[in-house]
């Protein structure tokens, strides 16, 4: 075992028994359930010896990446590869709604898919067209992100609130029926802010109350940075926890809690900087604490670097992802995980160099710059496509019932009875019925 592998993976290794116990039991309890299929004829008579091949085709749990490079790459070939790799691995996409880039000129938002291009900011209509065509759930990022306020915005509190109200209303009118999840605020603990509104005491509560007015049927999400959640943690006295608690007490309708998980640390400091993030006992302690709010939780942004294209570095990236994704997937409150950048070399991080040549960039993606998949991409695809997926054959008993335990999601059924084959689809949801009556 190399020195880097030993040092970086040590927190997982030191707590492997605890991690395995919670992961295994959590997945069985929180991601799977028992379903019963009851087969009858048209007169209601129970049918025995019905053979059923069940094949899970989608997950109820959501997993994805940001879609910021949709049709943004330097060649048609890469653009098509990006679309293919994305839909092959994910069922969820984060769409860019940064105010500064969506409305660079006041009153002229870039909604339409033929709008002038801005790098890493594909137009919402273009993104939605892709998502809806490929069965991918879109998610918005984000309504009030002060650091991305437009240059034309007058820096006065009343004026900012007036313009934000208009922005929320226009977005709701155009997209509320097509996008369910909306990040309302982002990184309000992380930076100092760009406008005077950022320093107002009602920043979070006002933003959520405004969002609730225009998005009454949508999921409203709060989100903040890794450094304010995982390594700066003091139970219910943590800053992010208290911010959420305060906003809820003042009437904000927060429906889900977002947590970033970016490991933006230099290679020489990696082991020391990440050890608390990679400690399974600590990770579960954080998750359990925020679960006290009884709100769904989301891992909204994930970056795990490989640092180089050396096989070992890429294998370590994949192993870290296997561990952290298993922990998150096992937790009862978690409803989604979003990896941040699908491909290396196209995001403006500190270690990025020449994007055009693909040299000296931050290797935090799941695909290399040449679009060959890393072990990390293959790992995530296998976890959700094979390991955490149910496919089996069952047979009905005398009472016409056939049961199985499986992951929540949509299933294709191939039913064989009396030399006939019938295809059916069922949606097995944690929140829905687990009884399915099928007439043959």
| Residue boundaries of the structural domains of the chain | 3-17+61-387, 32-54+391-439
pLDDT of residue 299: 98
**pLDDT tens digits for the chain (440 residues)?**
579 999 999 999 999 999 999 999 999 999 999 999 999 999 999 999 999 999 999 999 999 999 999 999 999 999 999 999 999 999 999 999 999 999 999 999 999 999 999 999 999 999 999 999 999 999 999 999 999 999 999 999 999 999 999 999 999 999 999 999 999 999 999 767 789 999 999 999 999 999 999 999 999 999 999 989 999 999 999 999 999 999 999 999 999 999 999 999 988 999 999 999 999 999 999 999 999 999 999 999 999 999 999 999 999 999 999 999 999 999 999 999 999 999 998 885 433 434 444 444 578 999 999 999 999 999 999 999 999 999 999 999 999 999 999 999 999 999 999 989 999 999 999 999 899 999 99
Class of domain 3-17+61-387: alpha beta
What are the backbone dihedrals phi and psi of residue 141, each rounded to the nearest 5 degrees, phi first? -145, 110
* Residues forming beta bridges with residue 153, ordered by sequence position: none
- Asked whether 190 and 148 are in contact (CB, 8 A), the reply is no
pLDDT for the residue 218: 98
Q: What is the pLDDT of residue 92?
A: 98
How many CB atoms lie under 10 A from the CB of residue 21? 11
Tell me the C-alpha distance between 96 and 111, whole Å: 11
Check if the beta carbon of residue 197 is closer than 8 Å to that of residue 157: yes
pTM for the structure as a whole = 0.95
| DSSP character string of 284-318 | HHHHHHHGGG---EEEEEEE----SS-HHHHHHHH
- The whole-number pLDDT of residue 350 equals 37
Contacts with 251 (C-beta within 8 Å, 6 or more apart), sequence order: 205, 209
Q: How far apart, in whole angstroms, are the C-alpha atoms of residue 87 and residue 73?
A: 17
* CATH match of 32-54+391-439 with 2.60.40.1120: yes
Q: What is the DSSP letter of 228?
A: G
pLDDT of residue 358: 44
């Amino acid at each position: 075992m190399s020195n880097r592998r030993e040092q970086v993976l040590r927190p997982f290794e030191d707590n492997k028994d605890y991690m395995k116990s919670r992961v295994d039991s959590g997945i069985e309890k929180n991601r799977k359930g028992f379903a019963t299929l009851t087969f009858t004829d048209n007169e209601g008579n129970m049918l025995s010896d019905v053979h059923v091949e069940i094949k899970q085709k989608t997950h109820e749990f959501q997993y994805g990446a940001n879609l910021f490079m949709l049709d943004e790459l330097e060649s048609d070939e890469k653009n098509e590869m990006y679309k293919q790799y994305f839909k092959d691995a994910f069922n969820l996409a984060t769409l860019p709604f940064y105010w500064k880039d969506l409305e660079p000129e006041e009153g002229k938002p870039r909604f339409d898919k033929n709008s002038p291009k801005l790098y890493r900011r594909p137009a919402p209509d273009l993104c939605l067209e892709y998502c809806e065509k490929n069965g991918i759930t879109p998610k918005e990022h984000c309504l009030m992100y002060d650091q991305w306020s437009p240059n034309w915005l007058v820096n006065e509190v009343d004026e900012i609130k007036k313009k934000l109200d208009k922005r929320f209303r226009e977005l709701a009118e155009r997209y509320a029926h097509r996008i369910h999840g909306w990040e309302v605020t982002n990184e309000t603990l992380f930076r100092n802010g760009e406008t005077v509104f950022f320093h107002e005491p009602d920043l979070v509560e006002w933003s959520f109350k405004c969002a609730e007015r225009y998005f009454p049927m949508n999921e409203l999400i709060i989100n903040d940075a890794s450094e304010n959640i995982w390594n700066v943690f003091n139970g219910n006295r943590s800053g992010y926890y208290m911010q959420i608690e305060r906003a809820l007490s003042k009437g904000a309708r927060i429906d889900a809690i977002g947590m970033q998980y970016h490991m933006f640390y230099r290679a020489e400091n990696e082991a020391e900087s990440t050890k608390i993030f990679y400690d399974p006992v600590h990770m579960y302690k954080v998750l359990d604490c925020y679960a006290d709010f009884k709100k769904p939780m989301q891992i909204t942004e994930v970056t795990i670097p490989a640092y180089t294209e050396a096989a070992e570095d890429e294998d370590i990236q994949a192993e870290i992802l296997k561990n952290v994704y298993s922990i998150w997937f096992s937790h009862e409150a978690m409803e989604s995980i979003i990896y941040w950048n699908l491909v290396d070399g196209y995001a403006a991080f500190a270690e990025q160099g020449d994007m055009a040549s693909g040299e000296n960039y931050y290797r935090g993606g799941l695909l290399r710059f040449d679009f060959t998949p890393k072990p990390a991409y293959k790992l995530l695809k296998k976890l959700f496509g094979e390991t955490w997926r149910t496919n089996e054959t069952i047979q009905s008993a005398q009472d016409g019932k056939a049961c199985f335990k499986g992951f929540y999601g949509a299933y294709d059924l191939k039913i064989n009875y009396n030399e006939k084959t019938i295809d059916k689809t069922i949606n097995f949801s944690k929140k829905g019925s687990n009884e399915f009556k099928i007439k043959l």
